[in-house]
């Protein structure tokens, strides 16, 4: 039996996303065509609007969501939209692939994404290439990656996270590996192997003291 989608039609709600400045009132008329299936949300190379973002958030927060892949490449996704999307992803358990490349995600958007990664344990592949991710944004994302249990790969190509941002990411990856037994693959960061080796050495367990006789 097809899933009942009546709750997506002719519905108006107010979202505050835990910040007074983000208030979006929307009306939903029909199930949009960019859901090419129940498992794929494809809005690549098309500017997304409030209504579409909030529909996606609603769907992600539904415990019956079957979306496994989100493609928002070049969709003019800004920090406000990234905030909303992060809220939808916090406890979602279906999404495996998250492509947010070629957008305008900066400090606050990265902060909320980092927070979402602390509780989301389904996302495996994240593409943040060609956004506005600097060293501070990298710190926020590293904070989430440190405790995440599912991410296997994250792409930072085209961002300028700098030395300090890279150090923070490397430490987070090493700390994560100690808990999960594997290293998250980080793409698009200069001299990544060097920073990862440095983090391994810095975070190596201190040797046990020699017992006195």
Backbone angles phi, psi at 38, to 5 degrees: -70, -15
DSSP-based three-state secondary structure for 144:
helix
* CATH classification of the domain holding 102: 3.80.10.10
Amino acid 63: pLDDT: 86
- Per the domain annotation, does 164 fall within a domain? yes
Q: Give me the pLDDT at residue 11, please.
A: 32
pLDDT in tens, the chain (213 residues): 444 434 433 332 333 334 433 333 333 334 455 554 578 899 999 999 998 999 999 999 988 889 999 999 999 999 999 999 999 999 999 999 999 999 999 989 999 999 999 999 999 999 999 999 999 999 999 999 999 999 999 999 999 999 999 999 999 999 999 999 999 999 999 999 999 999 999 998 766 566 555
Q: Total structural domains in the chain?
A: 1
Residue 152 within a domain = yes
Residue 6 covered by a domain: no
**CA separation for the pair 147, 107 (Å, rounded):** 20
Give the H/E segment covering residue 150. none
Domain that holds residue 122: 34-200
Tokens 């969501």 appear where? 65
Residue 18 within a domain = no
Residue 211 counted as domain residue: no
Q: Is the pTM of this model over 0.75?
A: yes
């Amino acid at each position: 039996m097809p899933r009942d989608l009546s709750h997506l039609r002719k519905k108006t709600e107010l979202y505050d996303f835990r910040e007074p400045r983000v208030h979006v009132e929307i009306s939903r008329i029909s199930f949009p065509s960019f859901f090419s299936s129940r498992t794929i949300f494809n809005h690549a190379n098309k500017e997304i609007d409030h209504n579409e973002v909030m529909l996606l958030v609603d769907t992600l927060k539904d415990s019956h969501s079957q979306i496994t892949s989100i493609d928002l490449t070049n969709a003019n996704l800004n920090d406000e939209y990234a905030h909303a999307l992060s809220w939808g992803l916090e406890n979602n358990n279906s999404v495996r692939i998250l492509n947010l490349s070629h957008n305008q995600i900066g400090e606050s958007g990265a902060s909320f994404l980092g927070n979402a990664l602390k509780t989301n344990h389904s996302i495996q592949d994240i593409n943040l290439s060609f956004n506005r991710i600097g060293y501070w944004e990298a710190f926020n994302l590293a904070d989430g990656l440190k405790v995440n249990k599912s991410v296997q790969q994250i792409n930072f190509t085209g961002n300028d996270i700098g030395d300090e941002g890279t150090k923070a990411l490397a430490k987070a990856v090493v700390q994560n590996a100690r808990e999960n037994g594997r290293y998250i693959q980080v793409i698009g960061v200069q001299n990544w192997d060097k920073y990862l080796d440095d983090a391994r050495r810095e975070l190596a367990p201190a040797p046990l003291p020699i017992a006195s006789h």
